Structure 1
Amino acid sequence: MAEMSVTFRSIPGTQAAIGVAGTHTVVVDRPPGKAGGLGLGFNGGQLLAMAIGGCFCNDLHYVAAEMGIEIASVDVEVTAVFDGEPLLVSAVTVDVKVTPADPGADVAGLVARARATSTVSNSIARGVPVAFHGGD
């Protein structure tokens, strides 16, 4: 079993937060004018879509290496649809275009295997439980 942790802390002088994972950071905020947001960073929905797309991009490269396929370029677009109260993601679409260095490479097989092993999208699709602690 592997474990990863990230930390979020308020950015002084703003109502935004900075997320830290190892040596990497990301700023999270709300759009300007929404609950004190200044639009300084991504909102949660954008980060969720980025997690799905980013994980899938990495998985494409992992699987390509296993299959001996050299990838020339990857183009992935993730669209998340939000509905209801509270606002929840009701659907996610991932559009994928992979250009291999060898035009005869099995791109369909590559995408299918990457999809089958993609950690984030599979976790969401299976309904991973989320536990909150503190605040009391």
Structure 2
Amino acid sequence: MSTMTVALHSISGTRAAVGAAGSHTLVVDRPPDVAGGLGLGFNGGQLLALAIGGCLCNDVQYAAHDMGVVIDDLHVEVELTLEGQPARVTGVNVTVEAQATDGSPVDEVIRRAKAASTVGNSVASGFPVQVSAVPAGR
């Protein structure tokens, strides 16, 4: 078993947050004029879609590498369907367009990537999410 941790902290003077994982950061916010949002960054749904698509992009490259295939061009689009109140993702549609440098078919590369995708497989099978409040300034 391994674990991965990220941290998010509010950005002074805004109601947005900055998320960090190692030396990488990104901003999380709501659209302008929605609950104090300024549109400074991604919302949660966009981050979920990016996680699904980004993980799959990496897995396409891993699978291609293992198969001795070089992917010249890769385009992944993720569409989330949200329903209900509070909104929940009820479906995800992912399209992958990839081209190998030598023109060989990439169907098997994509099949292997989908089978290995940590985020895609985790979301598809579901997992518990625990949220705990701790005193400020701990």
Normalising by structure 2, what TM-score? 0.95
| Alignment size in residue pairs | 135
Provide the rounded CA distance (Å) in 2 between the counterparts of 1:39 and 1:86: 21
Provide the rounded CA distance (Å) in 1 between the counterparts of 2:134 and 2:21: 23
Once superposed, what is the RMSD of the aligned Cα atoms?
1.0
Give the unaligned 5+ runs of structure 2. none
SS of the aligned residue for 1:75 comes to: strand
- Residues 1:123 and 2:122 aligned together: yes
Provide the rounded CA distance (Å) in 2 between the counterparts of 1:113 and 1:128: 22
- Residues 1:64 and 2:64 aligned together: yes
Structure 1 runs of 4+ aligned residues shifted over 3 Å read none
Query: Partner amino acid for 1:68?
Result: G
**Per-residue deviation, 1:135:** 5.2
Provide the rounded CA distance (Å) in 2 between the counterparts of 1:107 and 1:23: 33
**Per-residue deviation, 1:86:** 1.2
State the partner residue of 2:44: 44
**Per-residue deviation, 1:85:** 1.1
**Per-residue deviation, 1:129:** 1.0
Provide the rounded CA distance (Å) in 2 between the counterparts of 1:134 and 1:49: 26
Normalising by structure 1, what TM-score? 0.96
State the partner residue of 2:131: 132
Provide the rounded CA distance (Å) in 2 between the counterparts of 1:69 and 1:124: 28
Offset from partner CA, 1:55-80 (integer Å, 9 cap, x none): 00000000101010011010000000
Provide the rounded CA distance (Å) in 1 between the counterparts of 2:128 and 2:78: 22
State the partner residue of 1:77: 77
Give the unaligned 5+ runs of structure 1. none
Offset from partner CA, 1:86-136 (integer Å, 9 cap, x none): 1000110000001101112x4111100000010001000001111111158
